[in-house]
A and B are shown apart, each in its own frame.
Chain A
Amino acid sequence: GAGVSQSPSNKVTEKGKDVELRCDPISGHTALYWYRQSLGQGLEFLIYFQGNSAPDKSGLPSDRFSAERTGGSVSTLTIQRTQQEDSAVYLCASSFQGYGYTFGSGTRLTVV
Chain B
Amino acid sequence: KQEVTQIPAALSVPEGENLVLNCSFTDSAIYNLQWFRQDPGKGLTSLLLIQSSQREQTSGRLNASLDKSSGRSTLYIAASQPGDSATYLCAAHNLDAQGGKLIFGQGTELSVKP
Inter-chain contacts of B46 with A (CB < 8 A): 100-103
With A42-B107, A43-B89 given, is the CB distance from A101 to B102 under 8 Å?
yes
Cα of A50 to Cα of B93 in the assembled complex, Å: 14
Say yes or no for B83: interface residue by CB 8 A criterion.
no
- A62-106 vs B, Cβ < 8 Å mask (1 yes, 0 no): 000000000000000000000000000001010001111111111
- Which of chain A's residues has its CB closest to B87's CB? A42
A-B contact count (CB 8 A): 63
State the CA gap A56–B101 with chains docked (Å): 9
Q: Which residues of B contact A106 (CB under 8 A)?
A: 43
Is chain B's interface secondary structure helix, strand, loop, or mixed overall? strand
How far is the CB of A12 from the nearest CB of chain B, in Å? 16
Q: Which of B31, B43, B45 contacts A91 (CB 8 A)?
A: B43
Question: Which size bracket describes the interface of B in this complex?
Answer: 20 to 34
Q: Is the CB of B44 within 8 A of A98?
A: no
B34 close to chain A: CB less than 8 A: yes
Known: A53-B98, A54-B98, A98-B31. A42 touches B43 (CB 8 A): no
B66 to chain A, nearest CB (A): 15
Q: Which residue of B lies closest to A104 (CB)?
A: B43
Interface residue? B106 (CB, 8 A) = yes
Q: How far is the CA of A35 from the CA of B95 in the complex (A)?
A: 18
- The answer to whether B101 touches A48, judged by C-beta atoms less than 8 angstroms apart, is yes
A53 proximity list for chain B (CB < 8 A): 98-99
* Interface contact B49-A42, CB-CB below 8 Å: no
In the complex, 15 of the A-B residue pairs with CB atoms within 8 angstroms, ordered by the A residue number, are: A33-B102, A35-B104, A43-B44, A43-B89, A43-B104, A48-B98, A48-B101, A56-B101, A98-B32, A98-B95, A99-B32, A100-B34, A101-B34, A103-B36, A105-B42
4 closest pairs, A vs B, by CB? A50-B99, A103-B44, A42-B106, A43-B104
Chain A interface (Cβ < 8 Å from any Cβ of B) = 30-31, 33, 35, 41-43, 45, 48, 50-51, 53-54, 56, 91, 93, 97-106
